Structure 1
């Protein structure tokens, strides 16, 4: 069943139909979408235009959404029904083979000098997810399609769950003004079209180097203080099992990147020992093993009920390579942050930025 869009101008009690025109529309749509992908119904970040594939084709537009799912956007232009559908599927199958590093390289060619992590943060106000291109969405853009294309797309989408759809645009001119009207062939729901494909995580996620960890050093006015951690060499967390359990993943020799939430990165160092209750942890102070609770700490690390290990503060001794005061915490849009106290640091962008800022490469 064909898609028909209409537009009428209301002049008092009279309606005047405005006749759509397709003149030049499909030639302009690529630029329209590139300048504002929101016209497709959801926020997206374009990462490439006329992207060459490994098989001699060129993807009109490649984008990612806030879940980092890849969107292959293909304009119908003068292609036949079979050609446009087959081409979208072909391009989608190729994009599905791309790993996170490939996506970053495509964007680097599209916007030289801008990191995808920074562009993602600017567009969506958050950190680029660990899983990039874990799933793909295929969109055919057209002024109109014939019954054969509609039948093929509906068959793939509705019967087999292939995330392919057609978005229609009509161009209207009225009294010197131009308007675009949009509708979808199959009911469009961005929330259901971008579910993560867990089987592809190994490729879509940055590899972990087996050494680097993110540590959240959550300060509070009546509790934990970064001055203590930087001065005496430790990171800590507690108050609930959820906050302390991930610290136990840190092993001697691991490198930690300490970050104060909403402040920035403040230290990089090497883990010296396993996690223990704060009142059982010792650190090197003036060359001697010293109990943390015997040091002149500025913060308070005791709380009601902390005789229970799940409530107690836990700490990990660290030999700092470089630290800065909290007021000089380093942060750049697109850098990694996590709600866990400790998490594997897979984000190479963050490692590179902190290393440069702290002079670690030298």
Structure 2
């Protein structure tokens, strides 16, 4: 399966940009160091030229939001088959790394390259908005391999497909091409296998299960739930850790809301993006009003127009399908709970929780 990439400039007629080639793949590695989103926006880079116990060096190491390790190998001057074999060899070392060893890899990486966070725990929480020791995170519970190249031969592509389909190895290839236009240089990328398919393979090889598409929301017990029911919103803030995960939500997403220590109190669909709570205007009988312009039935002490964006309170509008007051919250043994404002659980307990709530509230 040959993958050909091209970029066209749109004008009176499409004009194909001239391929310029990647003269030095170390240049690509430098670009990844500046922004790993060039490879995947959902990864955290944790190591570069990581020395293994058998005195070989892994080009790049990363983590995804579930704590799985990604081994990234650039083809450089190796043959396609060599780089695939080398990646598998590295995986045999990575599979046995424990949390302290991975933490040390990141610490050395952060110190050498001047990263913003000096510990893996701080970097992970900043990147993904959840603590590394969360009950839903299992560090190095699985891993995947990514070969970065400008092209691969047909035999190597067959090997990659075989390893995915029959050998229980999650491996993918990422192709880059360089282009030039009027002195400006561009990179184009293409995956050999849909990265979502690769992620599903990783999940299937862990104790987790594929995410069921339903979001969990933790609604702080000190926030005004009765007003949230009436006006239609969920909220979080006071620190980035509490507000950042609200960005996981998009219009149309379904959320199941739990008040920790009380129980599940509502389900609905997101109708808009995250907004500062002191700025979002709700439709009322008196016209558009912000929360601090309305008389609320409960105290909402976290509203502060003078707070900076990092410490501000944020709301996400929701159209409710079903809500109940605190006295009728669904709380029973075996239901999922989490300290994050929003998360995408991938445990059997979450699937059980959603099914139980649907039955309790007569929701299809």
Q: Shorter-chain TM-score: which interval?
A: 0.5 to 0.7
Query: 1:103 corresponds to which residue?
Result: 102
Matched with 1:10 is 10
1:263-315 Cα shifts (integer Å, max 9, x gaps): 9xxxxxxxxxxxxxxxxxxxxxxxxxxxxxxxxxxxxxxx969xxx979xxxx
Question: Per-residue deviation at 1:8?
Answer: 2.2
Residue equivalent to 1:125: 129
> 2:114 corresponds to which residue?
none
Corresponding residue of 1:194: 202
Q: Offset at 1:81?
A: 2.4
**Are residues 16 and 136 of structure 1, via their aligned partners in 2, closer, same or farther at CA, if it must alter by over 3 Å?**
same
**Larger Rg belongs to:** 1
The aligned runs of 1:195-214 (5 Å cut-off) are 195=203, 197-198=205-206
CA distance in 1, matches of 2:261, 2:126: 33
Question: Could you tell me how far apart the structure 1 residues matched to 2:340 and 2:18 are?
Answer: 53
Give the one of 158, 163, 183 matched to 1:156.
163
Q: Structure 1 residue 179: deviation in Å?
A: 0.9
1:168 aligned to which of 172, 175, 179: 175
Q: 1:77 to 1:221 in 2, by over 3 A?
A: closer
Is this contact kept in 1: 2:17–2:180, CA < 8 A? yes
* Whole-Å separation in 2 of the counterparts to 1:304 and 1:22: 65
Structure 1 position 148, deviation (Å): 2.1
Task: Please list every run of 5 or more consecutive structure 2 residues that lacks an aligned counterpart in the other structure.
Answer: 112-116, 209-217, 225-259, 265-300, 303-325, 342-364
**Distance (whole Å) between structure 2 residues aligned to residue 127 and residue 2 of structure 1:** 41
Alignment-derived partner of residue 143 in structure 2: 136
Give the deviation of 1:173 after TM superposition.
0.4
Quickly say closer, same or farther: Cα 1:220–1:7, change in 2 above 3 A: closer
The alignment's TM-score, normalised by the length of structure 1, stands at 0.55
SS at match of 1:195: helix
- Contact (CA 8 Å) 2:48, 2:60: kept in 1 or not? yes
- Alpha-carbon separation, structure 2, partners of 1:82 and 1:69: 25
> How much does 1:159 deviate?
3.5
Alpha-carbon distance between aligned partners in 2 of 1:82 and 1:178, rounded to the nearest angstrom: 29
Match of 2:322 in 1: none
Q: CA deviation at 1:164?
A: 0.4
2:186 is equivalent to residue 179 of structure 1: yes
Q: Deviations over 1:26-75 (max 9, x none)?
A: 22111112221112233211111000001111000001011111010000
Across the aligned residues of Structure 1 and Structure 2, the Cα RMSD in angstroms comes to 3.5
Change in Cα spacing, 1:10 to 1:92, as seen in structure 2 (3 Å) is: same
SS at match of 1:131: coil
CA distance in 1, matches of 2:42, 2:95: 21
Instruction: Work out the CA distance in 2 between the residues paired with 1:110 and 1:23.
Output: 26
**Are 2:118 and 1:114 equivalent residues in the alignment?**
yes
1:53–1:91 CA contact under 8 A, matched in 2? yes
State the shift of 1:240 in Å: 5.7
SS at match of 1:194: helix
SS at 1:192 equivalent: helix
Segment of structure 1 superposing worse, 148-157 or 53-62: 148-157
CA distance in 2, matches of 1:199, 1:20: 44
Displacement of 1:191 in angstroms is: 4.0
Partner of residue 53, structure 1 = 52
What residue ranges of structure 1 are gaps of 5+ in the alignment? Answer: 201-215, 223-236, 242-261, 264-302, 312-335, 340-362
Work out the CA distance in 1 between the residues paired with 2:19 and 2:263.
62
Q: How does 1:202-351 map to 2 (within 5 A)?
A: 220=222, 239=262, 337=339
Q: State the number of aligned residues.
A: 225
Q: Is the 8 A contact 1:34 1:61 kept in 2?
A: no
In structure 1, distance between residues paired with 2:327 and 2:173: 59
1:221 to partner: Cα distance: 8.1
Note closer, same or farther for the CA distance 1:109–1:196 as it changes in structure 2 (3 Å cut).
farther
- Give 3-state SS (helix, strand or coil) of 1:111's partner: helix
